Structures are given as C-alpha cells and as structure tokens.
C-alpha cells in the first residue's frame, strides 16, 4: 500500500490520479489532497477518499470546508497548506500537479522530508531541474515522471546509465496545426483561441493545450528530460508522431531502439509512477493494433514552430534561462487566451524576453524565482 499525497487534485492530472486510486484501492491510499479553487470537487473527493488532511488556496474556502467536514479531516490553506501536505509524515510519495510555479517549494520540501515525488508540473524541472535532482540525490529519493513522454523514457531506460544511450527521442503529436498544407506559416496569425484549444489526441488543461499547439509543451519536456535523465540537450531529440501511440523512445549506443506504446491515457503514466517499481494489473488501457492501423513519424517543422529551438537553446545554456522561457511563455499564453496577442506573438514574446535576459549561470533557488518574476514583467511589456 502506498500513501499518496496529491497536490492539484481537481485539475486534469489530479482527477486522473483519483481514477487510478479508485482502480487500485488495495495499492493506493490518498492521505492528502490539495486543490486550487474548486472547493466543491475537493469536498466530493474528500468524502469519498477520506484523506486525513486537505488544503485549498483560499482561507475562507478552507474555513467553510473545515466547518462542513468537522473533526474527521484537517483543512489547511495557501502555500502553507501545500508545504504541510508535502511533508506529511505518513506520505510515501507526493504527486505534484499544480499549475505554475507554486509546485516548486512543495516539491523541494517533500524531497527534504525524504518523500519520493511524482512530477506533473513541468515548471519544477524546467525552472529548477538541477537543484531538484541534486536534492533528490542527496536525500536518496526518487523523482518520477508523470508525463507520458518521460514515463515512456523511464520505462525504456529501465535503469541503464546515460553512457549506454545515443539519444532520447520525445514524441510530439504536432498539435492541431501540424499540417503544413492546412496551416502554412502565413495563416498562423489567424489562429483563434477556440481553434487552438482543440487538441487532436489529448484532453488537457487550457495552458498545456496551447503549449501543445505552439510546441512549447515539447520544448519544456526537452528541458525536463535533460535534467530527469541527466543527459545533455544535444542528445534529446523530438519526432512528430500524430497518433500519440508511441509515447517516446530511447535509442541506445548499439543502434537498438526501445519504445513504450499504448493508446493515449494519462492514467497509465500516473499509475506507473505511483506503483513503481511494480506493475499493477488494470484493465483501463487497451491497445488494439489492427484498429490503430498506421503509425507515422515526421520531422518537427522548426520554422513554423520555433519553440523547439528556443527550448533547446534554454536547455543548453541553462542557468536562469529555462525559468525565463517558462515564465515568458506563461504570460504570453495567458495574453493569447485573453485575445490580447495573436498566435505567432506567443513565441515572439518568449524569444524577445530570452534575448533581453541577463543570465545567471549557476543560480540559487531565489535567483531562479527572481528571474521568473523579471521575465513575467518583461513579457507583459
Ligand atoms: Mg507530455
């Protein structure tokens, strides 16, 4: 039985994690749940799973929840609540699926408290990959990936050292504007918010769906992979695979390739992270090859999707630059969703913010957070 704390229980990854816990009642116990603002869903989840401790951002909502739930459950709020949950003595693993940078401090707190962490929030490894992985090594805990791509690579590597790897190959669906014929570069400025929110193969939150359309999502994943698997950026490649069946691959030094495949379902990588090193039986995911028919692969179009190269640059240079890329992208995506800028301006905003940044090569966590704030202001401008 694993005691699991789930930070971000009402979001897309959070609700999938709840499903996994319901699939495996004898193996996963949810002992702590934290939500951003959705008090109704958090209450429903709490009544069903009976965690000892929960947390919600807003203090007033926390008070209401405490009154409703009574003494059976302790309710916290804000960042303090996240830290409390991340370090619960009974927790074996903390799954962090909070949007934005709010997951960073709880991730480090969990590691320092000796907990394994499962990471769904990209910001954690993109902004502070080096610090997080060093801390994990120091405290002898695991950093497990919840993302389908990193889970695939983790499964294919199966503990093999980096020197046995020629290349990690992240697959990308290519997003809704993959087709050069339907979406030539000239048409990119006409892309509407509604159109960009329609992702061909995954149902996800709004921010990540836009990131999949610009390919910044893949860019962020490249940087994550670089830290998670301790490999230099030059050996992290991207291949477009619209069917999203091959979740990523490892090419070994002898030329052999291992891939992990399944029909797309986030419950699978979540379950693997929570049950690792075991494989728990579940009927949820079924893959039927004859029905899938053809799997195709193509080179990413770097001209229409400059995000890949911007991310490669940020990952290669490192320091505070990945945090700047991430923050500028967040601001630009929000501006696009609010119809303040057009689609190509997302990438343009990131590029200009990165170009204006005074790099700190070996940053402390405070310097990373300062770079994040600087980049948000710069990108807003
Ligand atoms: Mg992914």
What would the pLDDT profile of 246-255 be if each residue is shown by its tens digit?
999 999 999 9
Of 307, 311, 147, 308, the closest CA to residue 229 belongs to 147
Q: Are 335 and 374 in a shared domain?
A: yes
Alpha carbon distance 89, 115 (integer Å): 9
Provide mean pLDDT across the span 218-229.
97
pLDDT for the residue 208: 86
DSSP 50-93: --SEEEES-HHHHHHHHHHHGGGSEEEEHHHHHHHHHT-TT-SE
Q: Are residues 198 and 343 in the same domain?
A: no
Distance 63 CA to ligand 1 centre (A): 36
pLDDT one-digit tens code per residue, 159-197: 999 999 999 999 999 999 999 999 999 999 999 999 999
Instruction: Point out which residues pair with 353 in neighbouring strands.
Output: none
The closest alpha carbon to 150, from 45, 82, 229, belongs to 229
The answer on 340 and 255 residing in a single domain is: no
Q: Give 208 Cα–ligand 1 centroid separation in angstroms.
A: 9
> Residue 186 CB: number of other CB atoms within 10 A?
7
Going by their DSSP bridges, the two strands 165-172 and 28-35 should be labelled as unpaired
The rounded percent of the chain whose pLDDT value lies above 70 is: 98
Token pair, residue 267, equals: 């419950």
Expressed in angstroms and rounded, the spacing between residue 69 Cα and the centre of ligand 1 is 36
CA of 60 to the centre of ligand 1 (A): 34
Predicted pLDDT at 218: 97
Q: At what angle do helices 365-380 and 321-337 cross, to 10 degrees?
A: 40
Do 139 and 199 reside in the same domain of the chain? no
Please, which pLDDT band fits residue 91 given cuts at 50, 70 and 90? very high
How many Å apart are CA 180 and CA 202, to the nearest integer? Answer: 21
Place of tokens 């610009």: 214
Residue numbers of the domain that contains 325? 318-381
pLDDT of amino acid 335: 97
| pLDDT for 200 | 64
Looking at residue 203, its pLDDT comes to: 63
Model confidence at 41, pLDDT cuts 50, 70, 90, reads very high
- Last residue of a domain, which of 110, 145, 180? 145
3-state secondary structure of 107: helix
Task: Report CA(286)–ligand 1 centroid distance (Å).
Answer: 19
Query: Is 132 in the same domain as 12?
Result: yes
> What spacing in Å lies between the alpha carbon of 201 and ligand 1's midpoint?
11
What mean pLDDT comes out for the span 358-377?
Answer: 97
350-361 pLDDT, tens digit per residue, is: 999 999 999 999
Exposure string of 15-26, with b = 16+ CB inside 10 Å and e = fewer, is bbbbebbebbee
How many A from CA of 282 to the centre of ligand 1? Answer: 22
Is pLDDT of 105 > 80?
yes
Instruction: Report how far ligand 1's centroid is from the alpha carbon of 25 (Å).
Output: 26
Residues 306-357 have pLDDT tens digits of 999 999 999 999 999 999 999 999 999 999 999 999 999 999 999 999 999 9
What's the rounded mean pLDDT across residues 79-104? Answer: 95
Let me know whether 181 and 106 are in one domain: no
121: confidence class by pLDDT, cuts 50, 70, 90: confident
Q: Is residue 214 part of a domain?
A: yes
Same structural domain for residues 135 and 183? Answer: no
CA 281 to CA 284: how far, in whole Å?
Answer: 9
Query: 265 CA to middle of ligand 1, Å?
Result: 11
Residue 288 located in a structural domain: no
Let me know whether 180 and 304 are in one domain.
yes
DSSP 140-170: T--EEE-SHHHHHHHHHHTT--GGGEEEEEE
* Cα 370 to averaged position of ligand 1 atoms, centre (Å): 27
State the chain's mean pLDDT as an integer.
96
State in Å: Cα 16 to ligand 1 middle.
Answer: 14
One domain for residues 223 and 141? no
Locate 261 and state its tokens: 């495949």
Query: Quick one: pLDDT at residue 202?
Result: 62
229, 160 contact by CB (below 8 A): no
DSSP string, 260-319: EE-S--THHHHHHHHHTTS----SS----HHHH-----B---TTT-THHHHHHHHHHH-T
For ligand 1, an ion, list residues with CB under 5 A: 147, 149
Three-state DSSP class for residue 359: coil
Q: Is residue 284 part of a domain?
A: no
Domain count, the chain: 3
């Amino acid at each position: 039985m694993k005691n699991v704390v789930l930070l971000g229980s009402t979001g897309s990854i959070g609700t999938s994690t709840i499903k996994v816990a319901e699939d495996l009642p004898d193996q996963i116990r949810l002992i702590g749940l934290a939500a951003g603002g959705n008090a109704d869903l958090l209450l429903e989840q709490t009544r069903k799973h009976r965690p000892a401790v929960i947390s919600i951002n807003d203090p007033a909502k926390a008070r209401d929840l405490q009154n409703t739930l009574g003494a059976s459950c302790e309710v916290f709020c804000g960042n303090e609540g996240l830290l409390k949950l991340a370090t619960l003595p009974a927790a074996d693993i903390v799954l962090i699926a909070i949007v934005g940078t709010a997951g960073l401090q709880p991730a480090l707190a969990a590691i320092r408290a000796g907990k394994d962490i499962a990471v769904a929030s990209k910001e954690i490894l993109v902004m502070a990959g080096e610090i997080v992985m060093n801390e994990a090594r120091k405290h002898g805990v695991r950093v497990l990936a919840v993302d389908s791509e990193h889970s695939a690579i983790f499964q294919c590597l199966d503990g093999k050292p980096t020197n046995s790897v020629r290349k990690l190959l992240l697959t990308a669906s290519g997003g809704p504007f993959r087709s050069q014929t339907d979406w030539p570069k000239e048409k990119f400025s006409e892309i509407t918010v509604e159109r960009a929110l329609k992702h061909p193969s995954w149902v996800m939150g709004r921010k990540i769906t836009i990131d999949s359309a610009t390919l910044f999502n893949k860019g962020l994943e490249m940087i994550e992979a670089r830290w998670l698997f301790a490999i230099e950026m030059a050996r992290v490649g991207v291949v477009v695979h619209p069917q999203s069946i091959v979740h990523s691959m490892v090419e070994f030094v002898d030329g052999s390739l291992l891939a992990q495949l399944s029909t797309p379902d986030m419950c699978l990588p979540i379950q693997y992270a929570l049950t690792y090193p075991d494989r728990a039986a579940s009927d949820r995911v079924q893959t039927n090859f004859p029905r899938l028919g053809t799997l195709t692969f193509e080179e990413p179009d770097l001209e229409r999707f400059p995000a890949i190269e911007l991310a490669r640059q940020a990952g290669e240079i490192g320091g505070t630059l990945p945090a700047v890329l991430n923050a500028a992208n967040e601001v630009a995506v929000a501006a696009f969703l609010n119809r303040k800028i057009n689609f190509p301006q997302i990438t343009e905003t990131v590029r200009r913010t990165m170009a204006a940044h005074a790099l700190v090569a070996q940053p402390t966590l405070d310097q990373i957070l300062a770079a994040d704030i600087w980049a948000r202001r710069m990108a807003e401008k």
